[in-house]
Structure 1
Amino acid sequence: MKFDSIIIGGGLTGLTCALTLAKAGQRTALITAGQSTLHFHSGSVDLLGYDEQGQTVLHPLDAIRALSASHPYHKVDDVAARAEEAARLLADAGLLMDGTTDRNHFRLSPMGVSKPAWLTLNGLVRSAEEDSLPWRTVTFANIRGFLDIPTEFLVDNIRRKGTDVEVKSFTTPELEQARRSPSEMRATNVGKVLADETALRRMVEAIDGLEADGEVILLPAVLGVADARAESSLRQLVDRPIRFVVTMPPSMPGVRLQTCLRQAYQQLGGMYCASDAVTGGCFEAGRLRYVTTENMPDERFYADHFVLATGSFQSRGLMSNYRGVFEPVFGLDVDAADDRGAWTAEYVYDDQPYMRFGVRTDERLLVSRNGVRVDNLYASGSVLSGHNALKLADGSGVDMLTALQAAHNILKK
């Protein structure tokens, strides 16, 4: 099979790049091994939440200029323009989000901690200030038996922000049926139970029956695998303002991000190869000619350009053994310390050096093997070296902006 471009990896990076190339009219294929880390996603896109000294960033575009030279953002030709392009791409895929590059806002985590963010899905709790919420009183209404929200931590941290919280619980016949199996009381499973219009109306009746005193009712974000219609309906039907708190994984907002981007990509005619893994490829004259996959070992996937978007250690885009850190698909050059003792810091909350390890790229995001550049293989997202996404709160921004940059680099050729 022959394509203009093949993207390896189906997370936020891969979908962003594939969708951008497909919009430009390229014949593309996206090959993904399975569920991506979007299933752990918060529903917010981070551009830069903290600087390299650990201080909260309010104005991300200004702070990005001061980042170390190794940071992937320095390989993006125009960060502001790519950020605006990323926001449009999400909106065009049906993902309506609040936020601006001018100033970060603060999203509420499942633990009740405020985290800086650039874009957040409509309806999720967010605030302009880190140490306060926009209400004096709230009612947290949890689903009876639902354990993917640590209620005591959430409530305690909201109260620390100066907002009084009352806690209520509710159920419906459909939810009671699901409770018979504890494994069913996970966010994505509950969302399927409540997808039916009758079940949603019973949920509305149960919430209205709580006699909530808060200015706003906070609910676990369990609605809407593919779109926000159920959330919108609920907010219209309940007689009190509603906001949603993202849950512990699996995250329904994260699943929605993946679903909407995938659907937008496939609607453009992009080939989506799910539950398959690239096992290697053929390199000739400094170029990657084709790749092979686990499920179709006899099939060769040819392309003019390739993008590696396999992620970091969590998604096995990077791996390690006693000999060192390596990229497992093609054996690409990586930036990593040779001394295993230098991989980690002693204190778990310190800046862990291994988080900055990743695939080495040039200024155009082209990779190398054994010191020789591969002229048509790009890397993007968290597989890249040069930053700690956990400490900087820049992971999803790096994912999207470097994916867009790789796509533009391909289209310029």
Structure 2
Amino acid sequence: MFLDKAKIYVKGGDGGDGLVAFRREKYVPEGGPAGGDGGNGGDVIFRVDEGLRTLIDFRYQKHFKAARGEKGRNKSQHGAGADDMIVKVPPGTVVIDDDTQEILADLTRHGQQVIVARGGRGGRGNTRFATPNNPAPEIAENGEEGEERWLVMELKVMADVGLVGFPSVGKSTLLSVVSAAQPKIGAYHFTTLTPNLGVVDVGDGRSFVMADLPGLIEGAHQGVGLGHEFLRHVERTRVIIHVIDMAGTEGRDPFDDWLKINEELKLYSAKLEERPQIVAANKMDMPEAEANLAEFSRRLAETHPETRIVPISAVTKSGVQELLYKAADLLATIPEMPLVEDLVDLSERKVYKLEAKDEEDYVIRRENETFVIDSPSIEKLIKRTNFSTQESVTRFARILRKKGIDQALRERGAQDGQTVRIGDFEFEFVERE
């Protein structure tokens, strides 16, 4: 089963908690702190596997969570970091953040990979907080939470040649006679509902991948019919073979068909208008095909004289070999297309300077009698602070004071006993004596 779109949830592993511990060896009085750091959580990494051709696996598994780092240990031993979670995806996968609709990665080459959810850092143990003034701190940090997000994955098939055209013009039949692919063939519209890929052996040592893509109709660029489900796959092809029913078996004008399909391609993406194209004048074994081809060639020469026309019959295989030669020759003149978009560098960890004195990275607002502080760095600090020890609470209060938040709350009218909220954390404002 072919699936070219999926929505999944990814979460990096949480970091392990730091440990509060002290040396307790015999004959070592007041041995000092010995709590180790927690290990880092695992990353969720997408890696391209050229053996995959569909996103069907993501229909049955939609949640991917990396493992958590181990907690810190005594004797100053650090917890082990968790292994990364490797998720294999097919070449041609576009990764989109569901919330922002930002393209995070365009994965096309075998082995290419990108981190889509970074694991959290491990919390620091109490050995990290020892100072001359406090040689035996009872402070340790919680592990940082791993990044999480919903992703939309879209697959754009990777093919050298794409077959386009109206429904029932013979695209599937053509692919079936030039490759080992077995697409569904029928005498009705939209027989092909998903792309079919086949490897074409030209016969002179050359080969290429051909894709039979679902049929187009007018308005496809706006999503009519199979619309965008088809058009996004055309973007990957280096050469377009435009299959035309030259016999006009359904009463349509072949040249009018050619104009309409190209207009849909151009309206969807201006780049497709510049894509090299070969016209496969199909069904030449049928009546009126020769007369229609002469008129088609005349009109095409007036507007697009550079476009190649190859008369064929996919049923009798007449002219098919010549079409393959022309496609292979054209591919040889086209350099590999720069298909890869700029990747968002998700690997850079955001490190907030929690105790910087000169940074005002917060906004204070009021909701009725509650003062609300919006600050990503302080919310991060709260999640890493273990409020079960008095020293950790004191350290948290000291950081807020150094940031100037105490004074800012006073200036906005905060009084002793009023509620202050930061994220999901609430506490009372206490005026120092």
TM exceeds 0.5?
no
Scaled by the length of structure 2, what TM-score is found?
0.19
The structure with more helix, counted as a fraction of residues: 1
Structure of larger gyration radius? 2
